[in-house]
Structure 1
Amino acid sequence: MEQLREWARSADEAGFPTGLPDGKPRNPVEAVAAPPRVPAEKSEREWFRAACITNIFKETSDSVSFEFEMRDGEAFHAQPGQFVAIRFEIEGHTHERCYAVSSLVSRGEVPRFTVKRVSSGCVSNWCHDHLRCGAWIRVSPPTGQFRLHPLNTERAVFMAAGIGMAPIFPMIKEALLFSERAVRVMIFDRDEESAPFLAPLRAFAERYRDRLDLTEIYVGKAGEVTQDAIADHLAGTCDASIYMCGPPEFMRRAEAAAISVGLCEDRIFVNANAAIPALQMSPNERAQ
């Protein structure tokens, strides 16, 4: 039971949903991926590799990105949209949290994860207040099946609410920099100051004005985004593939809105990646 509580805390602090609203993935891309199977002889030390924080970037007043490099010098491989489990030692206690890889590692960028401060989150607050360059953390292999569809010519629509932009941002860069796709990005947040990666997204919108449409929707601190409002913004996108990430209620409404405007369900990709119980298990349990 305590393991499940820790799992729920991890997902909440990371800002990701633990799955689709009904708990049943609609297609294999939406399924929460199991972590890599670890051979029985693999030790916990080998599975969680040591990494060093090398750079810190303040994205917003409550979101910070941390770049890291692997201590063993070996490459860190991650695809846009994937996440990692990170182990922190805080005041003599070990904590594991899952965060999206928010840089385009597959194209040579330095590995990075982004942490949003949560008022009740002991790990998110510690990261903001105490995690500094030179600090050591332990990082799992990347996992998750939230990926960019391989077709190179279809239009791609990206929707993100809050810190849900973390896994979406490298997918946007992949689509813009390494394909000729038309891209539409919709940001849903409280205000401009709360929206992570807003400045580079605006720069992309200026640079790729012929094929990038950036829409910013701000609802205020107490506001919410209705399904009808999302559907209005999605009008005319039924020929596209749509990728979405954000809080559970936003995801539920966004998926329903996408279906209501005529998108086929096999073109709707929901990020159901999150902290998963297996990441809290011992190495022997993971191997079973």
Structure 2
Amino acid sequence: MDTSAFAGGAPYPTLAQVWDPEADDALVCLDVHQETHDVKSFTFASVAGKQFDVRAGQYFLFTFPAGGEDDSRCYSVSSSPLRRNAFSITVKRVAGGRMSNWLHDTMQPGMSVTAQGPLGTFIRPAGAAQKYLLLSGGSGITPVMSMVRELADSYEQADVAFVHAGRAPADLIFRHELSGLAARLKTLRLHFLPEQLGNEPSWPGLTGRISLDYLRLAVPDLAERVILCCGPQPFMAAARKIAAEAGVPAHRYIEESFDAAVIDADVVTPIQAPAETIYAVQFSKQARSIDVSAEQTVLSCAKKAGIRIPSSCANGMCGTCKSKLVSGSVNMVHNGGIRQREIDAGFFLPCCSKPTSDLVIDR
């Protein structure tokens, strides 16, 4: 038998190359899908046809040419990591959000973008007990949806309770898909918690916000589970407090390090007390100059002065604030949000960099 051909004589495809996070960045949009009235999913593939090695819960740092000027945002992968030829992100339109509005209004199949990743450590811990509580609020559902889709694709027999909160039933992202998965996966228990009824007065379940009483009712064995939580900062703060009150050990409560994994607003970081050594930091495009001490980060002082730099995690992880350093030097302690070749090209992360000389930044 001739094994060199199949399906009408076409040759077997060669083994696809794997996307290299250190070298690859070119993506093409394959599909745009409306999830809810203000949420869309965007599916991307490698321009070179490479496969992706992503872990459920990770994200990509995208650079988009919005408004004639490149800008960057982090978006979590919402698709199953086992489907390696492409991946999806799911984005909620934010009122006044520059990038979310640009994506919703502009992105179409066939358009090209660049992205760095996969990045992030919001992943299921290795060797953990196979009992999980996935807890999400609003668009924070995206990384945990990737986890659920992975479990469904792999037929992993993990005991999963999934609690997703939203503003109203119409705002519950992936509502119908999750209901279908829960009907098929015998080990998945699904709970939706809209804060209000909205236009669905016949909603059959509870409404309100997460609380210790609610989670004990929905997930009686809460304290025995590994909790993975993602959502807006107030939601995660409430979840963290509830988990502690329920007796969940700290090492079994894991949350995303930035707000809902979808960054479209400025985050102000605390300003440390000025130190004796002060450096002049110029932002060339904004024609602004500020003083930054050797003990302060560039981003913290820029935010206080009203200088616009996109940012999110503030700890050198996501790379959202990446900027070009025209001159000067900094002490940068990052957590994977920038690649070595970018550092070699003169880029740095203002959120985790303290000046060691006067600086000129291309912002």
1:86-165 matches, within 5 Å, as: 86-108=62-84, 110-151=86-127, 154-165=130-141
* CA distance 1:136–1:107, shift in 2 (3 Å): closer
Aligned sequence identity (%): 24
* CA distance 1:206–1:72, shift in 2 (3 Å): same
Q: How many residues align?
A: 244
Q: Which has the higher contact order (CA 8 A, sep 6+)?
A: 1
1:1-288 matches, within 5 Å, as: 46=23, 49-108=25-84, 110-151=86-127, 154-178=130-154, 179-208=156-185, 210-220=186-196, 225-232=209-216, 233-273=218-258, 275-276=312-313, 278=316, 279=319, 280-282=322-324, 283-284=342-343, 285-286=347-348
State whether residues 102 and 113 of structure 1, in contact with CA within 8 Å, keep that contact through their aligned partners in structure 2: yes
- Distance in 2 between the 1:63 and 1:261 partners? 33
Counterpart residue type for residue 225 of structure 1:
R
Question: What's the TM-score once normalised by structure 2's chain length?
Answer: 0.62
Which one is further off, 94-103 or 273-282? 273-282
Greater strand percent: which structure?
A: 2
- Distance in 1 between the 2:66 and 2:101 partners? 11
* CA distance 1:196–1:226, shift in 2 (3 Å): closer
Counterpart residue type for residue 281 of structure 1:
S
Q: 1:262 Cα shift?
A: 1.7
Aligned to 2:70, the other structure's residue is in SS state strand
Counterpart residue type for residue 188 of structure 2:
L
* CA distance 1:167–1:225, shift in 2 (3 Å): same
Counterpart residue type for residue 256 of structure 1:
K
* CA distance 1:144–1:251, shift in 2 (3 Å): same
Aligned to 1:220, the other structure's residue is in SS state coil
State whether residues 230 and 257 of structure 1, in contact with CA within 8 Å, keep that contact through their aligned partners in structure 2: no
Which one is further off, 90-99 or 271-280? 271-280
- Distance in 2 between the 1:221 and 1:88 partners? 36
Q: 1:266 Cα shift?
A: 1.0
State whether residues 164 and 245 of structure 1, in contact with CA within 8 Å, keep that contact through their aligned partners in structure 2: yes
Map Cα deviations across residues 67-97 of structure 1 (whole Å, 9 max, x no partner).
Answer: 0111122222211000111011023111111
* Structure 1: runs of 5+ lacking an equivalent: 1-35, 39-45
Aligned to 1:171, the other structure's residue is in SS state helix
- Distance in 1 between the 2:120 and 2:21 partners? 13
State the Cα RMSD in Å. Answer: 2.5
